[in-house]
Chain A
C-alpha cells in the first residue's frame, strides 16, 4: 500500500523548491566571472568613496601624506693614522616632523671592519658587528648626537669606506589612520559666504550648461534629420568638439578669446563692434542698466557656460537624432493631410515624441555637468566668479594643501549627486531607459 502511495506522490510533477544544482553552478560561474570587476570597482571606486568621508572628518593636510621619520647622518671623527688610534663614529639624528613624536625609535648600523668600540652610549648594544640603539619615544623637533668611541685596527685603515648604511625605524601617528576626528573641515566649508556663492555658481553652470547643450543639440538634430549631400560630413564635423581632448579645445578657446592677442577680440575691435577688447574669461561681471535698474551680467561664467554647451551639444544631438529617425513618418503624413503647418507638426508631433529622451538626457547631463571639473579648471582656474563645487574641492585640497577641507567639499558634491541620481532612477523607470 505504502509503496503505491509513494509512487503516486512521485508522479505528480511539482516545481523544484529553491535552486537546483544546475542553477547553483550557473550562479557560481556568474560570480566567478564578475568577481574581478567587482573587486577592482570596490577598490578604486567604492573604497575611495568611503575613504573620502573618512578624510573629510580628519585634520589632514597635504604635508601629512609624508609620514614623519627620524633622519640620520653618519660621520667619522678623528683621523686615525696607525693601529690603536682613537676614532669616534658620530650619528646625528633628527625628527623630521615639527609637531609629531615618533615612538619605538631604533637605530641599526653595521660597524666597519677593524673598529673596536670602547664606550657604548646609553641604551645601545653591540652584537658582533651590529650596533643597535633603542632610543624609545622621541618628541617633535628632536635632535641628538650619538657618539660611539673606539680604536682602530689594520683592517679599518686599509679600507677607504663611505659608510652610510645606518637605518632608523620608528612608528608615528599617521593622521590618516588614527582615531582623531574633527568637524573643523565642515565648519570651514559652511562658514562664510563663499560656499553659498560657489553652490550658486555650480547650479547656474549646471542648469544653463545642460540646457544650452540640449537646445543646441535639438537644433542640430533638426538640421540633419533630412537627408542631403554632405550630411555625413556635417555629422562628423558636429561631433568634433566632443571627441577632441578637453585640454586642446579649452586652450583653443582661451587663445581665441584672449583680450590682447585673441582673434575674436581683434575681430570685434577692428570691425568696430566694441571699443575695447573684452576679457571673456577674466572679467567677473559687466554692468548695464535696464530701464534704469543697474544689472550685472556674469561674463566669465557665461563664457564658461557657452563652452560647456558648445562641447557637449554633440552628445545630445546624437541621441535626439537617433530618436527622431525612429519616429514613424505616417504621423507626419496624416498631419499633413489634416493641414497641420510645419511648426504645428514640430510642436504637436515631434516634441512630444522627444520629451522622453530629452528628460533622460537632461537628468544625465545634469549629473555629468555637475561633476565636471576639467573644463572650468582649464578655462579660468575657478577665478572671476566661475568657481564651482568641483573646482573648490581642488582649490581647498591641493592649492591650499588642506586635504580634509577638500574632502568635506567632495562630500557635499556627493550628497547633491545622490539626490540627483535618485531623481534620475525615479524618472528613468517611467521614461525610456538608456
Chain B
C-alpha cells in the first residue's frame, strides 16, 4: 500500500483525539458536576490534524516545536468545529476547569501522537514499522484503559463518602468536593460512623484479630516449614505436595460443619472461634511459602551451627529465622491481608455488634436505612489501613503474592 503511512497517521490521530476527548470530558463532568458532553467527532478531526502536523513536522527536526504547532492547530480546528464549546458547555461555566480540561486534551493528544507516530512517514511503510505504531497505540490505549478502570471505583468510593445525602441524590455525577462548607461537614460520615456506629471498636477488633492470626500462623508454620524443608522423614515429598491441595478446599464447604459444631460448643459468636478458623486457613499457605524460602538457604550454615553445639531450636532461632526475615515479612503481610479482608466466616459467625470485624461491620451498613455515603465511608475505613500497609511494604507484599499466593 503506497499510502499506508497516511492511513495509519489519520487513524492514530482520530483514535487519540476521540479517546482523549472522552476522558477529558468525563473527568471534567466528575470534577465539576457540570454535564460536559464531549464532542467526539470534532475531537477526532482535531486529532487527525495534530497527527498530520506531527508527521509532517517530524522532518523539521524539533519535536517540541512540532508538538506546540500541533496543539495550536488542534485548538483552532476544535474551536471552529464546535463553535467554541468543545465540551458542549458555555465557556463562562466552570471556566477554569474547562480551560484545564482543554489544555489537558491538547497536550495529551499532541504528546500521544508524537510518541506513537515517531518515525512515521505519509508514504508506504514496511510491515515492521506499521506494527511498531500499532503496538504503541495499543499500549497507549492500554495505559488509559487500565488506569481509569482501576482508579475510577476508588475515586468514586472516596468522593461519595465525602458527600451529603441531598447532593448525592440531586446529581450523582457531581463528585466534586465542596470545600466552602469547611472541613468538619466534609467528614461527617466518618464522624458518625465512629460515634454512632461503633467503627472504632470494629477497627480495633479487626486489628487484633489480624495481628493475632499472623502470630498464630507463624507460630505453627515456621516449625512445620522447617521440618518439611530440612529434615528427612518418610512421607516428606507427599506432604509438601498435599499442602497445596489443602488450601484449595473451599471455605464454603467448611462453613456448614464449622457453623454447626461451633454453635454447639458456644464458639460461634466469639473471637476465639475466628482465631481458630483463620490460622487454620492461612497455615498451609504460610507453610508452603516459608518452606520454599528455607530450602533456598544454605544448609551448611545450619550444619555449622549444629557442629558448634547449638540445638535444633537454637539453629532455627539464631540462624534460620534471622536469615529469612524478608520471607517472614512477606508471609506476615500476606496473612495479615487475608485475615483483614476475610468476609465469609466473620459474616457467618459474628452476631454481636460488640465484636464485629470491619468486614462484618461494613456489611451491616448495607441496608436501606443507612445512607450510601456511610457505606462508602465504611468501605474507605476498611480499605485505607490495608492499602497503606501495602504501599509501605509493597516490595515484601509483591514478593509474598508471587511466592505462594495463587489464593484469593
Q: Which A residues are closer than 8 A to B by beta carbons?
A: 23, 26-27, 29-31, 33-34, 36-37, 40-41, 43-45, 47-49, 51-52, 54-55, 60, 65-67, 176, 219-220, 222-223, 234-249, 251-253, 255-256, 261-263, 265-267, 270-272, 310, 312, 315, 318-319, 322, 339, 341-343, 361, 364-365, 367-368, 370-371, 373-374, 378, 390, 393-394, 397-398, 403, 406-407, 410, 413-414, 417, 421, 425, 434
Contact = CB atoms under 8 A, between A and B. Distances in A.
A301 to B, nearest CB: 19
A256 B382 CA distance: 18
Contact of B407 (A66, A339, A342, A368): A368
Contacts of B258: 44, 48
Interface string B127-154: 1100110110001001100110111111
Interface residues of B, number: 105
B78 to A, nearest CB: 18
B150 A27 contact: no
Nearest to B284: A41
Contacts of B340: 245
B256 A219 contact: no
B157 to A, nearest CB: 4
Contacts of A374: 343-344
B343 to A, nearest CB: 5
B402 interface: yes
A371 B373 CA distance: 31
A240 B405 CA distance: 16
B233 interface: yes
Given A37-B287, A47-B257, A371-B251, A223 B227 contact: no
A240 B394 CA distance: 11
Contacts of B30: 263
Interface in B349-408: 358-359, 362-363, 366, 372, 375-376, 379-380, 382-383, 386-387, 390-391, 394, 397-398, 401-402, 405-408
Given A239-B394, A252-B156, 4 more contacts: A45-B254, A66-B263, A241-B153, A364-B406
A223 B251 contact: no
A248 B256 contact: no
Given A34-B228, A270-B173, A45 B249 contact: yes
B253 A244 contact: no
A403 to B, nearest CB: 6
B382 A266 contact: no
B387 A244 contact: yes
Contacts of A30: 227-228, 231-233, 236
A342 B132 contact: yes
A184 to B, nearest CB: 16
Contact of A37 (B221, B251, B391, B406): B221
Contact of A27 (B127, B234, B406): B234
B21 to A, nearest CB: 12
A394 B139 contact: no
15 contacts: A30-B236, A31-B233, A34-B224, A34-B228, A41-B246, A41-B283, A239-B394, A240-B154, A252-B154, A255-B372, A256-B152, A266-B173, A368-B248, A374-B344, A413-B252
A208 B373 CA distance: 32
B207 interface: no
Given A413-B252, A421-B248, A222 B379 contact: no
Contact of B232 (A26, A49, A223, A390): A26
Given A45-B254, A236-B394, A248-B383, A55 B260 contact: yes
Interface stretch (B3-11, B57-65, B102-110, B272-280): B272-280
Interface in B149-193: 149-154, 156-157, 160, 168-169, 171-173, 175
